[in-house]
Amino acid sequence: MSVTVRYFASLREALGASEVLDLAAGSTLGQLRDRLIQRGGAHAQVLARGRALRCALNQVMADEASAVADGAEVAFFPPVTGG
């Protein structure tokens, strides 16, 4: 299945705006993140476990246990603080 991954804020600066990936059916957001981390380089650095990240699935906040469907849009972004 094919999904679009979008990056925002500092992640976008490191990885670019977006990319399209092929995933195995039944993959979760956590598995997608792990696959991206395994690429090494900038992906491993900015998506590393232990770094606070938020994710959205089809523009709705989601946790890493959420299943990703074919054609989904996944977004990764750092936590936002305001003042």
Give the pLDDT confidence score for residue 80 in this predicted structure. Answer: 75
Whole domain around residue 66: which residue ranges? 2-77
Query: Is 11 a member of any domain?
Result: yes
Task: Tell me the pLDDT of the chain (83 aa) as tens digits.
Answer: 999 999 999 999 999 999 999 999 999 999 999 999 999 999 999 999 999 999 999 999 999 999 999 999 999 999 875 55
Query: Is 18 a member of any domain?
Result: yes
Query: Is 83 a member of any domain?
Result: no
Query: Is 68 a member of any domain?
Result: yes
Q: What is the DSSP letter of 36?
A: H
Q: For the chain, how many structural domains are there in total?
A: 1
d(CA 6, CA 12): 8
- pTM here is 0.92
Give the pLDDT confidence score for residue 29 in this predicted structure. Answer: 97
Query: Is 24 a member of any domain?
Result: yes
The CATH number of whichever domain residue 45 belongs to comes to: 3.10.20.30
Q: Are strands 60-62 and 73-77 parallel, antiparallel or unpaired?
A: unpaired
